[in-house]
A and B are shown apart, each in its own frame.
Chain A
């Protein structure tokens, strides 16, 4: 039993998972009904469902961000802006340029959505070329779209919010309705599962994951042993872009509109934070997708908790900062060493006593 416990605590994902659990437990303590999931109106309700639902965008972004961080030892800070741009592009295509609000779609909804996601991919490709071919520092390269993304979105939307008042457009961000049947699980959760599954399968079944780590650890050596390092970096940024595209469309569907200035606002920070909270190093190399996803939901759990506890939105960031600092500190190598040292000393003392 003790050995098993030791083995569990030694695994790399233990700490991120432990932190998430801690946040959830605090919730349980504060409001015993926290874990209750009820069905009303044919769909699932509850805090947990809410966290999973609201955390979808961060989780999807975190998947792409993990790869970008791992391969290039830098961060893609444009993902939030790309979200906004993708949302605007989709809405513009569906509503038509310059239309403020529409109930009739200009083209099949699916094409609009796919185009929006591809727009994200295009942005990722732009970042990818800057980082891989021109060897610009990732943060600087992605700063361009970070600034320009929402501005381009505003242009596409003719400087106004664009509303798609079309029922089916709300499905992606809310609940699926097929005929009489209503899916009880919020669609963003399903989308997240899909995205994570696709990326995880690609990483597991192809050698891309190995290449990403290899290039992230030592780009020069990787080239010499036959990996096309530039291509791998490029692919990772395109994936990050596509993920941002998906997240953008989901976010837009939630509010059935495109709001260039608010969709994806500060999401790049949350996605980077998710990667860190997941125990991944921002200096690239080895990575854990699972860790990042746990990190993403930890952030959302904190957000939801603060909201539920009635902390005003103005003060929430302060408390969030305190919690995040605590979690990051617990995972810092220095702290781990100190902890291990403590344990050794205590064991030595126990030995002496006996």
Chain B
């Protein structure tokens, strides 16, 4: 392993109104290594990266890069790119209304002799690039037509194609399934062999141990330590991130059979939405947590969207709390007593620019219609949930976009909890949030269920669902293929997803 230091960050400070995001953070990057940047939500990982890539300017501190004299002063992402620092962010930052090829070459389109864009060459080159990463897709189609996973791969392919010395991957795997993660890792290994240094931000411990050489841990904006991956046991890593010894994960193992209520809350028969999901049946009782599993794009989200009325069901019928219902729009479902936390937080969840308070009360307010919920009641309610869910925010009037990802997710969850739903759908609530908050979410789910709520839980992490769910629906290619319950193991669930389910009973 080359020990040549390529990039150093020292004493980086950055403050936002009311929050000190970085407090003398530091990091050292060596040539040709994969370096994990770890920390809880709000620990300052994203902020540190944004300082490095010129999205923010740090208040003070120095950035030194091998091959350049003195400290670097990076004012814009273009400048960072010129220096060879490129980033793929947590959420896909590409133009959905442009084609894949256009996205790959935006800003550096191949030109014909006359100075026009050479579309043919561009498409050909794009196909080659995507082919190298084993993604044989139609590069002339709009990016928005592809799944989130493919969008992410395009984003990575795009920056990789630019000459990069330092590649920063900010939670690139949070929307990828296992196979895609492996493809990404393969790509990372290739780059590493070429001498590219990679900063890898993720919440998945498995992935950290699978691919990285070194780990830097941040906590509350401050530097905790730098470790060699092989020399740091998992428990120690988690302890470093949380700043305390960690036994929480063990604490929420399934306590035997969870008690499932007698009352049927939702009974759906033959619901479907053309083009996204084939007819399915679904039943859930009170106090029950049902998981929906399957590969990305297998119709997990589409199924719950259909139940919730976000996509109108064209066939079938549904009985909710003993009453026959037909939801035309989400508001009908909310009025009946449902809640839905969507998977795409940025596009479907947050109302950026509105305050934490407004974001929390919106759903409750929408159910009331035009008569305004009195301000004092709003404040009591909001304070209660900020405390209950331990939301880290400067105040209740802070715009939601100033919060870290996990805290934004908690705000959205609070939005639904304050409507006191009987039936709550959580679509990937733990994506892109840290392990401490994940445990909090899981505990909360179990608590809610014990209080009588029915919960549908969708997650890409099977382990997480095994811990909480008493039953799982398995989806494949837009169809509900089976339901498994009883003794579930990671293996049996995987088998069911893959389609060779030996102990899966088909419904």
* A contacts, CB < 8 Å to B: 205-208, 210-211, 213-214, 217-218, 220-228, 285-286
Ordered by A's residue number, 18 sampled pairs between the chains whose C-beta atoms are within 8 Å are A207-B368, A207-B369, A207-B371, A207-B373, A213-B353, A217-B353, A218-B347, A218-B352, A222-B351, A223-B310, A224-B310, A225-B366, A225-B415, A226-B363, A227-B331, A227-B362, A228-B329, A286-B353
Q: Distance in Å from the Cβ of A48 to the closest Cβ of chain B?
A: 36
Q: Distance in Å from the Cβ of A237 to the closest Cβ of chain B?
A: 17
B467 in the interface (beta carbon within 8 A): no
Q: Distance in Å from the Cβ of A161 to the closest Cβ of chain B?
A: 43
B192 in the interface (beta carbon within 8 A): no
New contact pairs (19) apart from A225-B330, A228-B331, CB-CB < 8 Å: A206-B372, A207-B368, A207-B370, A207-B372, A210-B365, A214-B351, A217-B353, A218-B350, A218-B352, A221-B348, A223-B310, A224-B348, A224-B349, A225-B362, A226-B335, A226-B363, A226-B366, A227-B331, A285-B353
Contact status A225-B372, CB under 8 Å: no
Contacting B340 at CB < 8 Å: which of A205, A217, A224, A227? A224
- For the complex of A and B, 4 pairs with smallest distance between CB atoms: A226-B366, A226-B331, A226-B334, A206-B370
Interface size, B (range):
20 to 34
Q: Distance in Å from the Cβ of B365 to the closest Cβ of chain A?
A: 5
Residues of B within 8 Å of A224, CB to CB, are: 310, 330, 340, 342, 348-349
B358 in the interface (beta carbon within 8 A): yes
Q: How far is the CA of A225 from the CA of B350 in the complex (A)?
A: 10
Residues of A within 8 Å of B331, CB to CB, are: 226-228
Contact status A210-B362, CB under 8 Å: yes
Q: How far is the CA of A225 from the CA of B342 in the complex (A)?
A: 10
Contact status B334-A206, CB under 8 Å: no
Q: How far is the CA of A221 from the CA of B310 in the complex (A)?
A: 11
* B contacts, CB < 8 Å to A: 310, 329-331, 334-335, 340, 342, 347-354, 358, 362-363, 365-373, 415
Q: Distance in Å from the Cβ of B236 to the closest Cβ of chain A?
A: 40
Residues of A within 8 Å of B335, CB to CB, are: 226
Residues of A within 8 Å of B372, CB to CB, are: 205-207, 210
Residues of B within 8 Å of A211, CB to CB, are: 366
Contact status A227-B348, CB under 8 Å: no
**A220 and B348 in contact (CB under 8 A), knowing A226-B330, A227-B331?**
yes
Residues of B within 8 Å of A214, CB to CB, are: 351, 354, 358, 362
Q: Which residue of B lies closest to A286 (CB)?
A: B353
Residues of B within 8 Å of A285, CB to CB, are: 353
Q: How far is the CA of A217 from the CA of B355 in the complex (A)?
A: 12
Residues of A within 8 Å of B371, CB to CB, are: 206-207
Residues of B within 8 Å of A222, CB to CB, are: 351, 362
Q: How far is the CA of A207 from the CA of B334 in the complex (A)?
A: 17
Q: Distance in Å from the Cβ of A224 to the closest Cβ of chain B?
A: 5
Q: How far is the CA of A208 from the CA of B366 in the complex (A)?
A: 10
Q: How far is the CA of A206 from the CA of B368 in the complex (A)?
A: 11
Residues of B within 8 Å of A226, CB to CB, are: 330-331, 334-335, 362-363, 366-367
Q: Which residue of B lies closest to A220 (CB)?
A: B348
Q: How far is the CA of A33 from the CA of B366 in the complex (A)?
A: 53
